[in-house]
Amino acid sequence: MKFIVALIGVIAFIFGYHFVAHYFYLKREVRYAQEEIEWHKLHHPSRAGGTYVNGVWIDYRLQSFNSGRTWYAMEIDSGFDEVILGEVEAVYPGLMKTIKGWDKFMELTKDGPIKEITPKVDSVFKDVGITVNKK
């Protein structure tokens, strides 16, 4: 009987040790994966969406390979490979100004609705193609 209890204790210890070791291994792997994702988001940012630029609707997919200093227009071909179309301003003139305008617009509205149309707000509206009728 003592032998069976000892054997069960040894088996429980081995499985418990394996479980705890595996838990910490997985926890470390998840942390490494999260760090790698953050590194790629910082050094190779991408943006996708759609907007009007100069009265024309553009669906865009953008990628930067140098932390956002230079942006490239991308598309996915029929074989699901990414194709670089060229620098954004060469492919879609005015798109980066519009995107930066929308970023400013989102910054203006993060605390709630815009209560007063100041020259700064009006400038941001013009960058994204919004016209305000003043009475």
Predicted TM-score (pTM) of this structure: 0.63
Question: pLDDT (tens digit, 9 = 90+) per residue, 26-51?
Answer: 889 999 999 998 888 888 888 999 98
Indicate the helix (H) or strand (E) that contains 60.
strand 56-64
* Predicted local distance difference test score (pLDDT) of residue 129: 77
The first and second tokens of residue 20, run together, are 């705890």
Indicate the helix (H) or strand (E) that contains 17.
helix 2-43
Average pLDDT for 82-89 = 92
Strand order in the sheet with 71-76: 46-53, 56-64, 71-76, 82-87
Q: How far apart are CA 58 and CA 51, in angstroms?
A: 6
Question: pLDDT (tens digit, 9 = 90+) per residue, 62-73?
Answer: 999 888 889 999
Q: Where are the domains of the chain?
A: 1-43, 44-128
Q: What's the pLDDT band for 7 if we cut at 50, 70, 90?
A: low
